[in-house]
Structure 1
């Protein structure tokens, strides 16, 4: 089946990229630690000004975080505006990110703008989102003040010629050579927001994706120059009721670019200060790899800098699936949700609670023809089951309202489902049927503990279980029949998200061989982090068209336009907070509608029962009032057979995580938003585990204390989507660097550099599976070539290569891979 072949192909490419490319990625967060999207301590409000044609002097724009920035979402709000007319016909804001060393602000050539292709419904002139500024007198976009880039008439025929355009000049390198030059950024990588609406009360708000040099090297934000990180600018161009030529916007609305001289003169600039990009720890420190769950990645990124300041060691989190991490406890610390299954004659494995967080369904949903975000979204188990089984017609590729082999009774999309409308009645009115179409739900590829938790929730919900088994819902909808053979309603070993429908279609009859299948149309993401970034951008990476004229021919896709975004994604709570995503309310087993957060996490933990090794059974079906069903406790697991120095270092990490690392905050070393502090009991358990690990005596075995549980070692090989691990004993690093080794059979190979050379060589775990490394996105351009060599050398060079690579990564050029199904690009820090 083609879908299965595609999955194998993607897995293979993912493994290759991770195996050769991860060693040189910088540590998570670098010196820049986790920052909340609402870091109000550095909020800055800038006033508007009176323009030649429109008066913006009452406008006040607030950027709610201006310091300590990294790649993240930043809330922007404004007051004193005028209500947007129609579909962005007039009275709206246009926002972009720019670089520039002049303290008065950037030049327009230094701004990332002009690449958006998907226009909102009703926009009649694409010039609003372009870099074209020079037009002939009499044209709607003509600007009498545009003297720098005017229209250039053709010799002998003044009615013909070339329109003037503003070139983009990067922080280093040559300027662009035309308005369609995509050398530095594309419609998929840009963060520009040309259409932000103002409500009837003159207010509005949006979340802006701020980019660092890791995501956009041509802007250079955060790159270290001398002793400081490069600052950048947020530029807001308010648009009123007059165009650049002074004429009132008619029925066709405004037409000119914000970069046109008259419009640019009304700009509002706000300085953005970034955390330095690069290694947060000195190169001469010992490097200790930490393997496993990316749900803890935001926390480990925050803790790392504080730890290397107080200890002679650097901890590098290699994000990979929990199953893979359980197979690494003989060489380092594994981060897991389920306990390690150790054989009786293996070295004992200690489990230390590290943090409490949760799996969430994040969303970026806008009201129609508006930038206003939906404040609440509710999903029950059966709706989630429909999304995961491609049981909505428009979650399958094709044309027309009815697609694939789905029954005609199945709704077009989630938004058209009567069950969804009962839970979210605000969608019954004011939502045009052809706009704001949900783009399915983004999920990572591969196996994970959190995927097993989600399926466990569905299988224990009566209505979801019956739907998955083939029973129709009260409105006549049935599960996609291609998923029935998987027995999702009862398979207690499932730990991934299959895409089983083989449907495909050719979007253009001129090249019938170019077919779109389910993985093209609803692609996997590389990780939970990648899911969150795509949701913020409003583009899940789907391909729905074909370019028959390109060489070679290719499938194509577009982001959802402003005012029409409806993105759902499976993410962790900390990533949702980082990118300013909404989080869906879910109904727990007690019948409560619950949002993820500290209170609902704590209630869930209080209701959990202890399993083997003292690890809590994180059962999403427990009937606990107010408990969030996908609450996770991430454990650090390590073998007592590790070398003494290695055990002491990991014990120090556990102690830090359990004490100062549990203080909530956005400063380095604290617990970022999206986590709940450990309870007193969990903290005590962590400290006891740290002592036991540090003081372990050689020869201690798991003995009869080892066991299995329902939440134990995951069935099936592989790692969670976007996971990173090495196979065949090759050295590997994650986004934070590190090294690991594991044989193809799943048994542990030689320990990582600095590992248990002086410790026991006994097997540590009873079962492990083959590993599927992470498909990294947005990695700096030259790294993709350089790491072909680094991946080989890294197996021998160990931590030294890792640390040097971390330093080099900061200033390297970025990656702009337009057309990749995994776009939008974004560096993972």
Structure 2
């Protein structure tokens, strides 16, 4: 059969089958629906101890199938952490450890504590206190000795030498009994194991290392996941997102690495432990309630504090070994919107019979398309992109397959930090809790991303920004939408240090700007119309450095157009701090989410440190628990991975009284993202539909920053490579759309594709495996134009049953013309799991089917016609 006729016949079958009614997809499963791994542990009262934590209950939301991610730790029944005195009583300390907490020869866990990542002396939260009391000394360290009344030189239960100065850290590579280790157990500071002598980083003079410096060869402030101060709210509850780390981030813990157990058997993944040490308000040796004037002193690792530990097992996915070394690796690359899904699917693909090993590299959509169409033998044969790949006659034919549906979000890690004044009870009880709801408008987002608040510009922006607000917490529009901030701590430094965003171009960045520019107020403001507030006399204008960027094509990146610098002079030398140091980029969506979790913007402070040689502007430390105010542009899957809440995107109106109110707010929920998918329209590449943020913003209930991501594969790759990529597509359309935390499943933060789109992906897999006809022979030397006969056509697809979705009936386009309380983000929705979206499922079927007959098959016919044409023949 002539290939053109075969495909034309397939087109007829598509025309019949593509519009068959499709029932609504089954309610998408939450991670808990597939078997919850949450665990709750109770607090204890220890014989001979003075604290009573029996009312405390701590829950960890996920304890199995862990990767580098966050787990949400919540608790009830705690004593509220006082906010009117220095921090020292009634808080929790959380850390990750690798040892055996139940070893028979270690009943008190004193060997186990040596395996915990803790003690880098992260900053202690500074309370706006009224009561004079002593803070908890060394609570953020591993130090042993306490020069305080009532504390003995050595606890009688302590097993370390009497002159030991800290609890040593033992890396996993140096087990107890090892005689020689490449990375040994740290010294304990005793006379037998003294601390090393180092050069002082500031003066250069030799001195003995401090305990946290001794640890720095294993972990330090920049990489540790320890949580030394988890504060309890006024209602006795608390919540933190704790970053668990496998051996890729914490190699000296070894979590997830293969190991040999006590029986000598080799196991694929080393288990680890989450340890919670509650701190109370009694002197550990006298029993006195010291909350009025003092604090229980010391590290959580000293015996009287360690005895109250609560231990939760953590089971990690194997870091290595799920893909055999002799498996052929297939390269993929593309938008970071697919990163979490690609990482989750890879182990399942490797484990399947004759399954491929599929690698993934995060790069921008445009660069991914360029690599896919290149002739380099090292180019990926499949990419992920939210922008259809347009091809020309000179490019290889490609096939598009929808694989993920997710959203761009603004993730937040904000602790409710209210003024230290009398407040209504319902407001006061929020003090210290994690802020779960924040509302933003397109104009507020534009103000943040254009560095138009004075605090976001080195030196304050000068005269050009003289009438602008210092920060978003002063903006009446923000306060109107988020009235809790009217009672916020008024200190200047207790605010947002910029909205973090990644570097590089992406469809996701362009979508955000399309959404912003679809809002009349935001567009006018970016064009130069000031935001006037008569009450304050402010006339906030766009930072002049950004104004020219929005007069032409929509940007597909987050610009840092302000090049101003802040200068200080010392000893005749001038030192500069410029815009990208004050408000640096993140390394990507995942990195931005991780930084938000840690309260770490990576920014440098505008204060010259003259105590070092040469003087410098220092990097700001992580924000302190209880006082964090961090936000980042990221994707919904990364926000879910790191347990972050996400902002609602709102339309707002200003009343006659001058007050702002939100009239229409939308979060990145399953229903809102599905509603946005229902607005998708044909793109410039025939047969491939995309979501227009402006159209979604104009559609009730649709989340405007929803993005449909496609896998795009090269149909000229070798047959074995195409078969492997087809396996990836089939997995993505099958188990890969089942939400859960196990291997091969769809991570939280994605919305499962409607069935119609899954069928399209299966059809794309089938098409990818079909060999293209060989190019026609050149014209004969006598100029007759004779050619070789065309190769035999592939067998025609079977006719689908009436009313069914055809298995190849929604063939995607082969091309056209022209990179861890539960937050909504963690589940991708705060609505009822599995809420039906009604007619939206049917709308999707029609939208994605309408372009199939002419739009999908047409380019295929053109591709076959071009390949069968004699050399030199005209179009």
TM-score tier (shorter): 0.7 to 0.9
CA shift, 1:528, in A, is 0.5
CA pair 54-577 structure 1, distance change in 2 beyond 3 A? same
* Contact 2:600–2:622 (8 Å) recurs in 1: yes
Are 1:669 and 2:707 matched, yes or no?
Answer: no
Larger mean CA deviation between 588-597 and 518-527 belongs to: 588-597
1: distance between equivalents of 2:124 and 2:571? 26
The corresponding residue for 2:212 is 180
Pairs aligned (count): 666
CA distances 1:145-171 after superposition (whole Å, capped 9, x unpaired): 57556885xxxxxxxxxx932222222
Give the drift of 1:459.
Answer: 1.7
In the alignment, structure 1 residue 478 sits paired with structure 2 residue 553: no
- Structure 1 residues 647 and 704, CA, compared in 2 at 3 Å: closer, same or farther? closer
The yes-or-no answer on 1:644 pairing with 2:678 is no
User: Structure 1 residues 699, 489: closer, same or farther in 2, change over 3 A?
Assistant: farther
1:615 counterpart = 2:649: no
1:447-469 C-alpha deviation (Å, 9 max, x unpaired): 11111111111122111111112
In structure 2, the partner of 1:328 is 371
Provide Cα deviations, 1:609-637, integer angstroms capped at 9, x if missing partner.
Answer: 11223222321111211111111111111
- CA 1:85–1:412 in structure 2 vs 1: closer, same or farther (change >3 Å)? same
Aligned partner of 2:149 in structure 1 is: 138
RMSD: 3.1
Change (3 A) 1:40 1:164: farther
What residue is the counterpart of 2:553 in the other structure?
Answer: 492
- 1:353 equivalent to 2:402? Answer yes
Q: Match for residue 316 of structure 2?
A: 274
Question: For residues 319-718 of structure 1, what are the structure 2 equivalents within 5 Å?
Answer: 319-330=362-373, 331=379, 332-368=381-417, 371-398=432-459, 402-434=460-492, 436-475=494-533, 476-484=538-546, 487-506=548-567, 509=570, 512-544=573-605, 545-550=607-612, 554-556=616-618, 557-587=620-650, 592-611=664-683, 612-622=685-695, 623-698=698-773, 706-708=816-818
Structure 2, unaligned runs of 5 or more: 1-28, 104-108, 128-133, 174-182, 187-194, 196-209, 260-265, 374-378, 419-430, 653-661, 777-811, 820-862, 868-875
Are 1:499 and 1:519, in contact at CA under 8 Å, matched by a contact in 2? yes
**Do the aligned partners of 1:233 and 1:270 also contact (CA within 8 Å) in 2?**
yes
Separation of aligned partners in 2, 1:292 and 1:678: 19
Partner of 2:172: 171
Cα distance, 1:50 vs. partner? 1.7
Distance 2:673 2:232 in 1: 36
TM-score by length of 1: 0.75
Q: Verify the 8 A CA contact 2:410 2:632 in the aligned structure 1.
A: yes
Q: CA deviation at 1:404?
A: 4.1
The aligned residue for residue 129 of structure 1 is 140
The aligned counterpart of 1:302 is 344
Deviation at 1:114, TM superposition (A): 1.9
Match of 1:228 in 2: 268
Mapped contact 2:146–2:298 kept (Cα < 8 A): no
Distance change in 2, residues 1:200/1:38 (3 Å):
farther
Is this contact kept in 2: 1:468–1:488, CA < 8 A?
no
Match of 2:131 in 1: none
What is the CA distance between 1:570 and its match in structure 2?
1.0
The separation in 2 between residues aligned to 1:515 and 1:193, in whole angstroms, is 34
Structure 2 counterpart SS, 1:607:
coil
Radius of gyration: which is bigger?
A: 2
Q: Deviations over 1:486-545 (max 9, x none)?
A: x23333242111112222224684685442211111111111100010000110111114
Matches within 5 A, 1:63-142: 63-86=60-83, 88-104=87-103, 107-122=112-127, 124-125=135-136, 127-136=138-147, 138=149
Q: Partner residue of 2:19? A: none
CA distance in 2, matches of 1:699, 1:477: 67
Measured in 2, the distance between the counterparts of 1:56 and 1:571 equals: 38
| Shift, 1:554, TM fit | 4.7
What is the Cα deviation at residue 564 of structure 1?
A: 0.7
Separation of aligned partners in 1, 2:366 and 2:391 = 13
C-alpha distance 474-610 of structure 1, shift in aligned 2 (>3 A): same
Q: Distance in 2 between matches of 1:427 and 1:673?
A: 30
The alignment partner of 2:540 has SS state of coil
Q: Using the alignment, how far apart are the partners of 1:511 and 1:216 within structure 2? A: 44
Q: In structure 1, the residue corresponding to 2:372 is in which secondary structure?
A: coil
What secondary structure sits across from 1:128 in the alignment? coil
Does 1:214 pair with 2:248? yes
Q: 1:700 to 1:707 in 2, by over 3 A?
A: farther
Which has the bigger relative contact order, CA under 8 A and spacing at least 6? 1
CA distance in 2 between partners of 1:548 and 1:141 (Å)? 40
Once the two structures are superposed, residues 155-194 of structure 1 have per-residue CA deviations (whole angstroms, 9 ceiling, x without a partner) of xxxxxxxx93222222232233441322222222111112
Measure the CA separation in 2 of the matches of 1:548 and 1:630.
45
Of 115-124 and 86-95, deviating more is 115-124
Alpha carbons of structure 1 residues 597 and 49: separation in structure 2 relative to 1, 3 Å:
same
Larger displacement relative to structure 2 (195-204 or 386-395):
195-204
In structure 2, what is the Cα distance between the partners aligned to 1:75 and 1:205? Answer: 7
Runs (5+) with no aligned partner, structure 1: 1-33, 153-162, 709-718, 720-758, 764-829
* Equivalent residue number for residue 231 of structure 2: 197
The change in CA–CA distance for 1:577 and 1:484 in structure 2 (over 3 A counts) is closer
User: In the TM superposition, what is the alpha-carbon distance from 1:391 to its structure 2 partner?
Assistant: 0.9
Partner SS, residue 333 of structure 2: strand
Report the Cα distance in structure 1 between the residues aligned to 2:666 and 2:153, rounded to whole angstroms: 53
- Could you say if the C-alpha distance between residues 254 and 420 of structure 1 is closer, same or farther in structure 2, counting changes exceeding 3 Å? farther
Checking the alignment, whether the CA contact within 8 Å between 2:234 and 2:432 is kept in structure 1 is no
CA distance in 1, matches of 2:518, 2:333: 31
Q: Pairwise mapping of residues 777-816 of structure 1 onto structure 2 (< 5 A)?
A: none
| 3-state SS in 1 of match to 2:435 | coil
Deviation at 1:572, TM superposition (A): 0.9
Is 1:284 aligned to 2:352, yes or no? no
Q: Which residue of 2 aligns with 1:712?
A: none
Asked whether the equivalents of residues 399 and 815 of structure 2 are also in contact (C-alpha less than 8 Å), the reply is: no
Distance 2:623 2:91 in 1: 19
Call closer, same or farther: CA 1:554–1:435 in 2, change over 3 Å: closer
- The structural deviation recorded for 1:124 is 4.1
Moved more, 412-421 or 80-89: 80-89
Please state whether the residue corresponding to 1:249 is helix, strand or coil: coil
CA contact (8 A) 1:436 1:566 kept: yes
Give yes or no for contact 1:503–1:518 (8 Å, CA) kept in 2. Answer: yes
Tell me, in whole angstroms, the C-alpha distance in 1 between the residues paired with 2:539 and 2:221.
Answer: 36
Bigger mean CA offset, 365-374 vs 137-146: 137-146
83-92 vs 313-322, which moves further: 83-92
Q: TM-score, with normalisation over the residues of structure 2?
A: 0.71
Alpha-carbon distance in structure 1 between the residues aligned to 2:596 and 2:702: 26
